[in-house]
Structure 1
């Protein structure tokens, strides 16, 4: 492990961060250069990669802003030598960690458009996605299966399929160098990245991120994101999601020491936590589920004061265990997701969990709810919208606002929203209604302006008694049946003819409950659901293998696959 304690802090001075907030040309395509320009600690390592040595010890390698620029320029010279020009999409199919972010920096410095692809995506789906995007080239850890697929359809083959190792080994000095105008000067609406959806609800969509749009709304982080000399961020956000780019952009501009994780599994994460000693951990729920299960990671989380979740909101059953860990230092700045408030609080045991509801399309987490050990449980609350949101509403199908307390379509009007979907104007327009962007969620708002996230629109269960929402049911199973249920997913499947859909739960059991029968879980679940005033489950199925609890490339449960698997459960067909 590198000696971090002897290094001066790489965090940019407050005056430099305030300057970044008002810089008119700053955006997602040039944030590294702006960080170098204002941060006097530009030569101090802040971005850490990790690996395990031959003895099993964690090794952390730090990179400064200047180090990142050198690597970026070398990679950019390779892309330029291979004919990549401004506006051209290039696929980056590289495993998680710092490496794919270097390719993002290189391609945006040329004005090209990196299409960041999760390397766990099924190859047939990946080829269809790349063909839709129209990439001019692909850089991947392994090109074998992609090359084989393109041999079946050579007319669609991109100009180059190259190994990431080839780019790493490139001798930039022997090449033709970089363009005369470099780095590229982006216009505000230039597309700087393509982010595919998780695929949990169908074929991945290609969300565009624009230079200025992806910076809009993040300016307050320059003064509100915790960045004391002792602060350290562990980022488990995938680079193929806007969340991964968002945290990397934030950390780079702040100069915040950050380890960019190459694996989200607890077996890898916990040893790195113990070596890096983060004060903040940012992740999708997938890692939080593992960290909250079984014996808690007390040593690795000893200094954690904040857990940040973005994407689908996490569940209270897991959150309440995590906030027991760590410590909140005196004067901790209230979370950056919330309106500007600095509570001069004393040092407190435990941590805070900041649950942000966001997506690549929203550009960032636009709602935020904070849970601490002292918080009162408030299932599915995602709080109030951020300042960047001009309007947030719950709409009916005609675009009219529904009264508070009534469930409808969650919609936002914000400059942080995506320009749309690449090569698909019709799909883009389908998410626009009455001047709002539809997030794809169903929600309700209470009389105090707090929003409650109930389901994805495609996952609502249409029973003969009315719609049933899967997320509140999952909340109860995970919090009130925690002695039995480790994780779960609730879906609707067809009932008998004329019987509408019926809700069922597919559950993973706690280790100490491995011998429990599905009937016992169903009885316990329906008792808890009745107490919460929620619909009863028609059945429970226990997932005892990985295959029985299918996850997408980003670790989200594939509900569409569960619906198909259990489609005939009650029809007898």
Structure 2
């Protein structure tokens, strides 16, 4: 994101082993993979660079193209973490092998192809192969429900599908032969392809026009059937250029990417890592039981994720060993909760060069690392193209609930709007709108839906926000989640903030939704996960404590609390976001009987 702090300059620290035990550390690999500063500056202004050809530009410009820097992970027969590194040349070889298979199977420029493979490096290789042919990968999170997945792929009109498991897809299309794509193939078939048996097209890699669509990314589905967001070759790169010089990329820096890599966020961080040559482990699982051993082996200095993993890492005993070298946490998608952020920034250490001089704590030496880390909290979406709002939290940052900071420099204008697209006064809640070249070209095969998000020249982000007199924005809710009470709108996110931060002895995580009230309208209820040490607490005990904290904050009280005893009691969508629409349906009769 464009508010990334300046590059730090302390002495290097050893890199983690390419194959090691969970807490082992080994000498750094010979030679650096980081692109030289001159190369990074040149990439910022390269006119042809975009989301469809960034690997090719990295190959042609980075002199360290043979040094491994992108890592995948697995556990060996003893349960130890094994990290395997891939260089730019390795990535290109895999890309070309996959592309040869797709070309041999008739995939041509402009055709969408469904990719339904497990998270990690694998879907990114399919992305590189299809964009090198000028085709359009429709990236699908394999956790999506099969019936919804088929409806989504039919809406896209894919020419073919590559999946880890084709059984369910084959059965689904057997009953719907008119919509069946030309091929439904196993991903293992593509991986095993002998590139020597088939030729690539004469014009390879494909040369993209600025407005070419290079990928289709589905939404989280938290508001219904996932939407198909288009990513443009140039627009998805717009706004990310400053990362080439601002994103921390010193020889000791190492990034752990916990994003879903079928999502725009994962693709964005992968693009950044490839262009910078930044050592990066591409995670295939976001659960703490998998993440923490890899953290201990890789020793990242930066961790990028959706809030889902930060909730787990901030829960219970903190991952002190794995986060020992972390100086920055990067969050995107939905903004994170202060109750979780304040625990994570206690971990790691910050190089002095990372901190702006006027933000150094009193008495801190300008050339000595500081204890603790920084949390860069971003609000973004696939439609926005990147995190367009950002706020930096450190151990010294005062609490400021739901503040997502100022609009980033990729934004021409950001405003809080009324239903007519006119700006509302500062302090007033309204629709968050942005004008930015990074926004999506629109939704695939759905011009009407695209137009519904455009208002008076702005792109509506789908959020309710307010702005203060200093230009800082506060994220209050998703527009579909606003609770319509008889006394006016109630916003769920500030309530969640108080429950997690001020009732932390009881509440681990929560989701607040509106359900029908006996006297009309809606009232807010909370579905909460309890702290392990508070497992015996009752719903009424939680509601009583929450009532006092909410009253002190001037927020609406809860009408009821539901304890989530099982994982399914707080259902998640394929990208790890809580499905509030499902909670509203489940608990629709909670207050009315």
* TM-score, normalisation: structure 1: 0.97
Q: Is the 8 A contact 1:330 1:346 kept in 2?
A: yes
Alpha-carbon distance in structure 1 between the residues aligned to 2:462 and 2:30: 45
Larger RCO (CA within 8 A; separation ≥ 6): 2
Q: 1:238 aligned to 2:257?
A: no
* Matched residue, 1:26: 49
How many Å separate the matches in 2 of 1:199 and 1:4? 44
Report the equivalent of 1:490.
512
Indicate the residue corresponding to 1:337 in structure 2: none
The CA distance in 2 between the partners of 1:547 and 1:11, in whole Å, is: 43
Are residue 116 (structure 1) and residue 169 (structure 2) matched? no
CA distance in 2, matches of 1:7, 1:495: 66
Q: Does residue 517 of structure 1 match 2:538?
A: yes
Residues 238-261 of structure 1 deviation map (CA, whole Å, 9 limit, x = unaligned): 112211000000000000000000
Q: 1:118, 1:274 → 2: CA distance? A: 27
Distance 1:569 1:544 in 2: 17
Task: Provide Cα deviations, 1:285-337, integer angstroms capped at 9, x if missing partner.
Answer: 11000000000000000000000000000000000000000000121266xxx
Structure 1 residue aligned with 2:129, among 94, 103, 106?
A: 106
Which residue in the other structure is 1:52 paired with? Answer: 75
| Structure 1 residue 553, shift from structure 2 partner | 0.5
Match of 1:558 in 2: 579
Contact 2:124–2:262 under 8 Å retained in 1: no
**Which residue is equivalent to 1:466?**
488
Alignment equivalent of 1:136, drawn from 144, 159, 173: 159
Matching of residues 428-443 of structure 1 within 5 Å: 428-443=450-465
Partner of 1:162: 185
Question: Contact 2:515–2:522 (CA<8 Å) still a contact in 1?
Answer: yes
2:526 alignment counterpart? 505
Give per-residue Cα distances to partners, 1:155-204, cap 9 Å, x unaligned: 111100011100000011012x1000000000000000000000011110
SS of residue in 2 equivalent to 1:126: helix
Whether 2:398 is the aligned partner of 1:376: answer yes
Alpha carbons of structure 1 residues 333 and 163: separation in structure 2 relative to 1, 3 Å = farther
On the 8 A contact 1:504/1:538 being kept in 2, the answer is: yes
Rounded Cα–Cα distance in structure 1 between residues aligned with 2:569 and 2:271 = 37
RMSD: 1.2
Counterpart secondary structure, 1:443: strand
Q: What secondary structure sits across from 2:100 in the alignment?
A: helix
Shift of 1:346: 4.3
Partner of 1:350: 372
Q: Deviations over 1:222-249 (max 9, x none)?
A: 0000001110000001112211000000
Q: What is the alpha-carbon distance in structure 2 between the residues aligned to residue 461 and residue 158 of structure 1?
A: 42
Q: Alignment partner of 2:489: what SS? A: strand
In structure 2, runs of 5+ residues without a counterpart are: 1-16, 19-25, 357-364
1:30-429 to 2 correspondence within 5 Å? 30-175=53-198, 177-332=199-354, 346-429=368-451
Establish whether residue 548 from structure 1 lines up as the match of residue 569 from structure 2.
Answer: yes
Q: Distance in 2 between matches of 1:137 and 1:239?
A: 20
- TM-score w.r.t. the length of structure 2 is 0.94
Deviation at 1:9, TM superposition (A): 1.4
Label 1:366 to 1:4 Cα distance change in 2 as closer, same or farther (>3 A): farther
Secondary structure in structure 1 of the residue aligned to 2:237: coil
Aligned residues: 563
1:355-411 CA distances to partner (integer Å, 9 max, x unpaired)? 000000000000000110000000000000111100000000000000000000000
Mapped contact 1:109–1:182 kept (Cα < 8 A): yes
Give ranges in structure 1 of 5+ residues lacking alignment.
Answer: 335-342
| Residues in 1 aligned to 2:117 and 2:377: alpha-carbon distance in whole angstroms | 28
Misfit runs of 4+, over 4 Å:
343-346
| Inter-CA distance 31–333: structure 2 relative to 1 (3 Å threshold) | farther
C-alpha distance in 2 between matches for 1:45 and 1:277: 16
Q: What is the Cα deviation at residue 6 of structure 1?
A: 2.9
Change (3 A) 1:34 1:206: same
C-alpha distance in 2 between matches for 1:379 and 1:439: 20
